[in-house]
Every structure is written in structure tokens, then in C-alpha cells.
Amino acid sequence: MTVTYPLHRPELGFEEAAALAEVLASGQLVQGPRVAAFEAAVAQRLALPSAVACSSGTAALHLALAALDVGPGDEVIVPAFGFPATANVVELCGARAVPADVDLDTFALTAESVAAVATERTRGALVVHPFGIPAPMAALSALAQARGWWLVEDAACALGTAPRDDDAARWASGDHLVCLSFHPRKTLTTAEGGMVLTADPALATRLRRLRNHGMDDPAPGDGRWERFHAVGFNYRMSELHAALGQVQMTRLDAIVAGRASLAAWYRDALAALPRVSWPAGYLQPDLAFQSLVVLLDPEIDRDQVIDRLAGRGVQTTLGGYALALQPAYRGRPDADPARLPNASRAQASTLTLPATLAMTQADVEVVVDALADALADAQAPARRSTP
């Protein structure tokens, strides 16, 4: 089946190809000057002193938790809706991922939902900025400070979103970490890759050590070959991935501006569809829209809509996953769907729309017209009204 309007396509061109060719010609393929330059560019963009590049966004989250010594007996609060990697890294540390419900206007955690599931074992929270929509960090930071918790920001979808007034003060705290992903569906891509940023030099040192098998350069007085100071991972970023990232950073502002135009066109075109809600979180100013996700009315069979749109050459997908509905977490007392109704609703009713910079306003109108037709015949069978 021909796809006329793909869900996403990275912005790649001759410059990226030339940068890759230079790396191949150099013979330096792993964690060299390109990685360092890419780290410096992202750190400057976020106004954070230390950036540690790694092999994926999931690796970035895992490194962050490992650097904070998360382990057995600990609980970490995570969003009940999104991508399971955020919870999985907690479990991989031997800790317990505790889902808290999200707000349907932002798909993000709230201070109230986090407080509702906290226990004496809670050490912190992994806070996601879904689709580029900022989570309510002022309220979450106040809660964390009052409870003595740390926060790790999963900002995988938010690179390019303008800093908020309280970002600098929050990021300056000693145990606060910001994680990024450079997967092909993110605003900026390195094909695969991630990064952890921090204002704490000791944490930065620990992150760099952990990403490279626990290895440090020998300290004064150490034996010549005594270099492994921790049990670490092979989470290095290659020079090839970093070369892509360097070029992509020069495109970031143009990508963000182009996707903002797409969002505005979609918002206007969707206003005429009564059974489609544009999340209020997207109305915040200066966002980098990683994905454009709308919420369908609950009586709509979203999967039928996806199938009908595919038949028109329009590629769509769900917005994310409810953690409590996934087999890996289903049946746990703290992952009861009845306690997390917004997450279940979001998995059933969110729809991610095509968003490539090649799309014009006319293309957006074609997609929305196809969506209107799909909605007309996609009412859930159990809820269909009789003639």
C-alpha cells in the first residue's frame, strides 16, 4: 500500500552525508572529537555545563538512574502513559517503577498524581515532557524538594522547546538530570543516540565513567593499568552518530519553526471536527512539536480510524501506551488500570498525525479531510446507534 503522507521523515541532506564521509575517512569511529563537539553544542543550547552523549535515549535514562544509585528497594514514579522505556530502566536497576496517572490536556504527570502514589520507598520521579509539551515542572519540583526526592527529566521529545522561567534554577540543583533522545522520530536525530545533561560535575564524571565500562584515566598513585572504578556499561556514542548530530544542530531552529507551522495548520483544520480534541498543552508558547497527537472521543474506534487512513495513504499510529495494560506490568497492584483511567483512555483514543516538513498547508487539509471521512464510519461497534 502506497504511503503518501508518512508519519515522520527525518530532515537529512548532503551535509549529513558529507559529515559521515569525513568520519569514515578519519578512521576515528568511536567517542572522539565529534562526540565532544556535539556534547558541547547541546550543552550550550540548554545552558547546562556538562553533557554526556550515549548510544540511545533509553541508555541515557539508564545511566541517569545508575549515576543516582537507584537500586533494589527503591521506588521511582513514572508516567502511566507514554513509552515503556521510561519504566523499564527503573526495573533494570532492580528498583520498582510506580505509574502515576497523567493529565489528558498535557499527557504529563501532575504533582497531585505523583503525590497520590508516593510511599516511604519513593526516591524520585522520571518526568516526561510528552510530544514536546512541558510537564508542570514548578509544581513537581516543589513537591520533590519538600519530599527530599530527585527528578530526572525525560526531555526526549522537547529539544528545541524554549526554556521556561524556572528551568535554570531547577537544572542547577545538584541531583537534577535532563535526558535526551536522538531517535529518528525525534526533532533532531543521530539515527540512534541519547544524552544526559547535568550541572553537577561529580555526576557528570560518574556518567562518563558508567557509559564506558566504568573506566577512568589512571589517578595519581594508581597502578598503570588500574582504570576500572565502577561496573559500567558500553553506552558510548559513535563518531558517525555524533557527526549527524552536529549537522542536525545547525538545522534545529528551522525544524522547530517548520513543525510549529504544521501544528498551527493542523489546529485550524481540526477545529471543524467535533469529535477530535486538540490537547491544551499544545497551546503553550514556543514549543518544539516532536509529535502531533490528538484525542478522539471515547466512542470512536481509533484503530479503525488508523486502518481507514492507511487505505488513503495516510500513515498514523496511537499516541502511546498505558503501562498498566502492557503484559510486562499487567496485574501488579500499583499498575491497576482502574487507578489510572486517563492513561487507559489515552492509549485507546490518541492518534498521532503525519508531520513531515515537506507537508504544505494543502497537504494538512487533505489529511484532515481523510480523517473526517474515517471518523464517520469508525464508531466502536458496541456503541453504534441503531437507525
Distance CA 66, CA 296 (A): 38
User: Strand, coil or helix: what is 353?
Assistant: strand
d(CA 103, CA 114): 11
What amino acid positions are annotated as catalytic residues? 186
**Which grid coordinates belong to 43?**
550543552
3-state secondary structure of 292: strand
* Whether 292 contacts 131, CB under 8 Å: yes
Asked whether the beta carbons of 204 and 50 are under 8 A apart, the reply is yes
SS3 (DSSP) at 82: strand
How far, in Å, are 210, 224, 250, 303, 357 from residue 254 at the CA level?
A: 34, 49, 8, 33, 10
- CA dist 63 and 177 (Å) reads 10
User: What angle separates helix 57-67 from helix 201-211, to the nearest 10 degrees?
Assistant: 120
Cell numbers standing for residue 281 = 498543552
- Whole-angstrom distance, CA of residue 323 vs CA of residue 80: 5
Helix (H) / strand (E) element for 268: namely helix 239-270
